[in-house]
Structure 1
Amino acid sequence: MRALPLCLLALSLTGCSLLHKPYKPITAPEARPTTTETPARPVARPAPVKLYTDTTELLSNPFRDLGEVSGEDCQTNRQDSPPNINTARKRMQIRASYLKANAVLLHKCEIVNESKGCYRQAICQGTALKVSGK
């Protein structure tokens, strides 16, 4: 009766050793010659988006409305850094640049307490515009 547990133990140990793969050392990548390397392309950055806070600034320039845009900065819990309105405003401008806008008319920026998923949240809302130059 004592032989059965010993046989099962020996069988289980040998079964696990059959699954083990041999160790292969990691080799360093081949050194490439520097003369044949092509330079890396710069990452495309969104075009700068001007921020308008007053509608009277737009009166002299023709523009096209491209839609509403918003930006957020979230503080997930009390220990995180507080939400920043400047970060929310910048994210709004970046979203406007994805719409091919070159300006944003800012409607409002505010800090909201206890929003969904955030302890506190900075939110900026505006309208993306394509302003024609003079």
Structure 2
Amino acid sequence: MLLCAVTISVITTLISSCSGNYAFNSNVKPDNADQYFSASNVKIYNNIKEFPGPFELVGLVEGDDCQTKAHLAPPDPINARTQARQSAYAQKANAVIFTSCINIDAQHCVAQIVCYGKAYKVVTSNE
């Protein structure tokens, strides 16, 4: 009987300790949330024939990914394109056409990839 009471007491304590207030910490700052998710607002197209409506060239963009140490992951073109899309969003563009991604030699990187593109403001049916 005593063992049963002790077991119930321990279980009750464990369950009640799970209901405490917890803080959530993140590296995403509320002030910079737009920057973190801005690439999702810029659609990638293969060419201007795919645009759903009138368009305007906003400017040129580029993004890069650098492998800083040999034991780290190699540079990823997806990361480079995401950075370029963030740059396009900063220029008020909502579309990008990538012209090339190339591997380059850089003194501060073991390996580096840079992607270049053109940023556009495209009128869509939602606007």
Q: Could you tell me the TM-score, scaled by structure 2's length?
A: 0.64
Alignment of 1:1-80 (within 5 A): 42-43=30-31, 44-45=33-34, 46=38, 48-58=41-51, 61-80=53-72
Amino acid in structure 1 at the alignment position of 2:76: N
Alignment RMSD: 2.0
Amino acid in structure 2 at the alignment position of 1:86: I
Aligned mate of 1:120, from 111, 114, 125: 111
C-alpha separation in 1, matches of 2:107 and 2:117? 21
Amino acid in structure 2 at the alignment position of 1:127: K
Number of aligned positions between the proteins: 92
Unaligned ranges ≥5, structure 1: 1-40
Is residue 103 of structure 2 the alignment partner of residue 111 of structure 1?
yes
1:56 counterpart SS class: helix
Unaligned ranges ≥5, structure 2: 1-28
Q: Could you tell me the TM-score, scaled by structure 1's length?
A: 0.61
Q: Rg larger in 1 or in 2? A: 1
Aligned mate of 2:84, from 88, 92, 99: 92
Is residue 124 of structure 2 the alignment partner of residue 133 of structure 1?
yes
Structure with a larger share of its residues in helix: 2
Identity %: 36
Moved segments of 4+, more than 3 Å: 41-44
